[in-house]
Amino acid sequence: MQTIVESQASFSVTDKGFYGHFGGAFIPEMLYPNVEELRQNYLAIMADPAFQAEFQQLLIDYVGRPTPLFLAKRLSEQVGASIYLKREDLCHTGAHKINNTIGQILMAQRLGKKRIVAETGAGQHGVATATVCALMGLECIVYMGSIDIERQKPNVDRMRMLGAEVRPARSGSQTLKDATNEAMRHWINNPVDTHYIIGSVVGPHPYPDMVARFQSVISEEIRKQLLAKEGRETPDYVVACVGGGSNAAGAFFHFLDEPSVQLIAAEAAGHGITSGHSAATTALGKPGVLHGSRTILMQTEDGQVTEPYSISAGLDYPGIGPLHAHLFDSGRGTFYSITDDEAVKAAFNLSKLEGIIPALETAHALATLNELPLQPDDVVVVCLSGRGDKDLSTYTKYL
Ligand SMILES: *Cc1c(COP(=O)(O)O)cnc(C)c1O
């Protein structure tokens, strides 16, 4: 594995938390002690063999890892290349998010924290956080916009059943960004005993790097599984959807400095890139600071963050993580914008061809298979980030 570690050099984060022109920690002074405590400790804690042993064991026994790498034969035939699905939908709670929350709850314990705070939009990260808090017996407070609380009742009920306290954010647009503000405020006021679990590769350094490392188990497994199945560790393409970018970061991580592997990211074009209702960040965005890091984000002429839209709640984010901004900026990654309709079509297609109902987010990644210039002997891995049960009420409108 030494070659992998060495090869990470050009796309790994710098000491100050930068990926090329993006990243950093642009935070209010009040937040500095919390973020600094984490920055000074996260790498040493993650390198501790006892930490790794506990993390790896929970990934096996609790999350259900390794997740299968499945050769989708009928989809492969249709597309005209070998398509493998990395089945993160089979993780406990139905998506990749738990890989990160397991890692961060162990981190919080090592830092001596007694309470977890998190923000959630659609509720998926809130559920993954409430789950690991129940597992470890830590108090859990999840901030959620009051409009989102109404829209996402099943996830609110799940969090409550898991013992979390869901606190409504009633300011501003009463959605994710307001929940984020409230969670930050809570953390500032409770710096000693509270850890803030961020759900994607976003936020101030060291969060993007820490979350990418926890999710990198995805590409670590892909390399081993592909070697067993194809006799080679590297595919021609790795494809993933990008909201903040954590499942993509995990799927790309151990291929970042393998130029033969094309990294394909799918973002949400909503009703269309120019429709005014989209979350196509790289297509529409410009550099700016969002949630503590310099990245690419959708904004007005005078720098106000634009309200994003996507049919999938997990891609409904106005920015992307700084690693992905760098992949886009440097040309290392290729970004496709997929509309709501294209995503829904891809979801129905996979369901009927392979008997797997994907999450709406994941469906955006699947839709790129129609756009890639694939050759018959190409090997493609699609990160199947989550299962579609949560999206049934949306899908049924298209039946
Ligand atoms: C949350 C979510 C996403 C988007 O988050 P990333 O950080 O971009 O991975 C994608 N797929 C599923 C199933 C999700 O729940």
Domains detected in the chain: 15-61+97-211 (3.40.50.1100), 64-94+216-398 (3.40.50.1100)
- Among the options 119, 258, 354, 361, which is catalytic? 119
Mean pLDDT, the chain, whole residue set? 95
- pLDDT, tens digit, 9 for 90 and up, residues 223-276: 999 999 999 999 999 999 999 999 999 999 999 999 999 999 999 999 999 999
Active site (annotated) includes residue 345? no
Pocket of ligand 1 (CB under 6 A): 95, 97, 124, 200, 241-247, 314-315, 359, 361-362, 385-386
Active site (annotated) includes residue 260? no
Percent of the chain topping pLDDT 70: 98
Which pTM was predicted? 0.96
Q: pLDDT at residue 7 above 80? A: no
Tell me, in angstroms, the distance from the centre of ligand 1 to residue 29's CA.
30
Active site (annotated) includes residue 293? no
Q: What pLDDT score does 9 carry? A: 52
Per-residue H/E/C for the chain = CHHHHHHCHHHCCCCCCEECCEECCCCCHHHHHHHHHHHHHHHHHHHCHHHHHHHHHHHHHHHCCCCCEEECHHHHHHHCCEEEEECHHHCCCCECHHHHHHHHHHHHHHCCCCEEEEEECCCHHHHHHHHHHHHHCCEEEEEEEHHHHHHCHHHHHHHHHCCCEEEEECCCCCCHHHHHHHHHHHHHHCCCCEEECCCCCCCCCCHHHHHHHHHCHHHHHHHHHHHHHHCCCCCCEEEEECCCCHHHHHHHHHHCCCCCCEEEEEEEEECCCCCCCCECHHHHCEEEEECCEEEEECECCCCCECCCCCCCHHHCCCECCHHHHHHHHHCCEEEEEEEHHHHHHHHHHHHHHHCCCECHHHHHHHHHHHCCCCCCCCEEEEECCEECHHHHHHHHHHC
**Ligand 1: nearest atom to the Cα of 122:** 1
pLDDT range class, residue 131, cuts 50, 70, 90: very high
